[in-house]
Amino acid sequence: MLRACFRRAQHSLARSTTIVQPLPCEGRGNHKLCIESTDAWRVHSIGAVQDQAPKQHNHDNGQEWAAAIQDLVKQDTQKPPSERIDSVVWQVESASEPTPEMWRALDGLSPKHLSILAGYEEEFTFEGLKTLKRPWTELETLTLRDNIKASVIDNAPDYFSRISALTLEWCCSQNLVPPGATRLKELRIIENNACDMFAYAVDNPQNPNLAGQLEVLDIQTTNGCDMTHGYEPQDFRNRLQKCTRLRELYYAACISDGLDVNVAAYIPSSVETVGLRFTRSLPFLRSFEDWFSHAADSSWLPHLKRFKMAVDPESALRDLESEDGIVVVPENYSAKRFDQEFEEKKSKLYELLRRNKPSLALL
């Protein structure tokens, strides 16, 4: 059954020339160039300090905007390497943006980090980025937010294949990993069909060694939009197990499709750091024997150094749905009681881990 997937409401942008409050200039890097292109194009802020008062430049048309950006780029090229813009954070308005003209206005920058956030249409394009005279070959990390089209990667520059870290936030697609991504070590997929996208990426013949090269994996799937493209939870777990070089695993899941149970056996033995977060799910609570049996085995995760398991304190208490789609939680069973039982089981789990791995940091 297909589910509707929803991005975060605060990212929804109306088509308007009204000046709105700028979003925080998120993303990696020390010197960020933050751009929001709406009908009234403008630069929000430039600087190393994220919460400083933003410099705003309002322009009536693209020519004035481009001239202002080109002047900014010229100034940037004259700075020492340590002071140059190393991160571009761009919130776009329509699916046709950034246009080739907008990208060319940035010709001369050499960022290491690029974050792009889709607007109302949940699409954007990288095609114009290929027209730069000075390609962004120093790019190391890429963040895509609210995109629903896999074709965005098909139209991207070839050097996207050389990034080392990819983050997909509230996207909804099948595969957004650049082809030939042989240097990709960190993959973070946040919400919507996160497990689907991970499985597609591992199965993609254009990246045949992806599972064997990942070192950091962060999967968050808590809004019930996963397993909509022909995959089952076991398919996700099997692909997780293939990540034989993984050092850090961060996994957040909910009751939907049973993605919050039967995970322990599929965590690769190479993992050193495990961070787990689940919602208040009775099937998850009932499945603790699986965690106990693995924690009691001294050979389980032999390289483990840090371990954390938590439950989202804001999540609703849920049980499995009946055939008529109704969720029935046992009478007089409260979220408070769930939390108490979880803490008891978590304490037992931590004690088993501590017994077999005395130097393990339990967070």
Instruction: List the domains of the chain with CATH numbers.
Output: 8-163 (no CATH), 178-363 (3.80.10)
Distances, alpha carbon 348 to alpha carbons 72, 291, 341, in Å: 58, 10, 11
* Separation between Cα atoms, residue 53 and residue 44, nearest integer Å: 9
pLDDT at 23: 44
Least Cα distance to 163 among 207, 109, 133, 103 occurs for 207
* Separation between Cα atoms, residue 146 and residue 6, nearest integer Å: 9
- Confidence check: pLDDT of 183 > 80: yes
- In order, the DSSP letters of 45-58 are EEES-TTSPPP-EE
Residue 321 binned pLDDT confidence (cut-offs 50, 70, 90):
low
Residue 119 binned pLDDT confidence (cut-offs 50, 70, 90):
confident
Mean pLDDT throughout 323-349? Answer: 85
* Separation between Cα atoms, residue 245 and residue 79, nearest integer Å: 39
Could you report the per-residue pLDDT of 12-39, keeping only the tens digit for each? 222 222 222 334 556 677 788 988 775 4
- Confidence check: pLDDT of 69 > 60: yes
Q: Which two tokens stand for residue 246?
A: 């993984």
- Confidence check: pLDDT of 160 > 80: yes
Could you report the per-residue pLDDT of 187-209, keeping only the tens digit for each? 999 999 999 999 999 999 999 99
Beta bridge partners of 35: 43, 90
Does this model's pTM top 0.85? My answer is yes
pLDDT at 182: 96
* Separation between Cα atoms, residue 271 and residue 218, nearest integer Å: 13
Pairing outcome for strands 57-58 and 42-47: antiparallel
Q: Which two tokens stand for residue 285?
A: 């609570």
pLDDT at 327: 64
Bond into 98 cis (ω within 30): yes
Main-chain phi, psi angles of 196, to 5 degrees: -60, -50
- Confidence check: pLDDT of 300 > 50: yes
Say if CB 154 and CB 126 are below 8 A apart: no
Residue 337 binned pLDDT confidence (cut-offs 50, 70, 90):
very high
**Percentage above 90 pLDDT, the chain:** 62
Q: Round the average pLDDT of the chain to a whole number and report it.
A: 84
SS3 state at 114: strand
Say if CB 280 and CB 314 are below 8 A apart: no
SS3 state at 59: coil
End-to-end C-alpha distance for the chain, whole angstroms: 37
Mean pLDDT throughout 91-105? Answer: 87
pLDDT at 188: 98
Q: What angle do CA 44, 186, 80 make, to 5 degrees?
A: 45
Mean pLDDT throughout 98-109? Answer: 91
- Confidence check: pLDDT of 46 > 70: no
**Amino acid making up residue 88:** V
* Separation between Cα atoms, residue 23 and residue 26, nearest integer Å: 8
DSSP assigned state of 7: -
* Separation between Cα atoms, residue 14 and residue 7, nearest integer Å: 15
Say if CB 308 and CB 329 are below 8 A apart: no
Residue 330: CB partners within 8 Å, gap ≥ 6? 282, 319
Most confident of 66-70, 116-120, 192-196, 345-349: 345-349
Could you report the per-residue pLDDT of 219-234, keeping only the tens digit for each? 999 998 888 778 999 9
- Confidence check: pLDDT of 51 > 60: no
Task: Give the count of alpha carbons within 13 A of 195, CB side only.
Answer: 30
* Separation between Cα atoms, residue 255 and residue 326, nearest integer Å: 14
Residue 110 binned pLDDT confidence (cut-offs 50, 70, 90):
very high
Q: Which two tokens stand for residue 146?
A: 């609210």
**Which region among 2-6, 39-43, 144-148 has the lowest average model confidence (pLDDT)?**
2-6
- Sign of the C-alpha dihedral, residues 167, 283, 276, 214? negative
* Separation between Cα atoms, residue 147 and residue 127, nearest integer Å: 15
Could you report the per-residue pLDDT of 215-272, keeping only the tens digit for each? 999 999 999 888 877 899 999 999 999 999 999 999 999 998 899 999 999 999 999 9
Mean pLDDT throughout 46-74? Answer: 59
- Confidence check: pLDDT of 167 > 80: yes
Say if CB 98 and CB 125 are below 8 A apart: yes
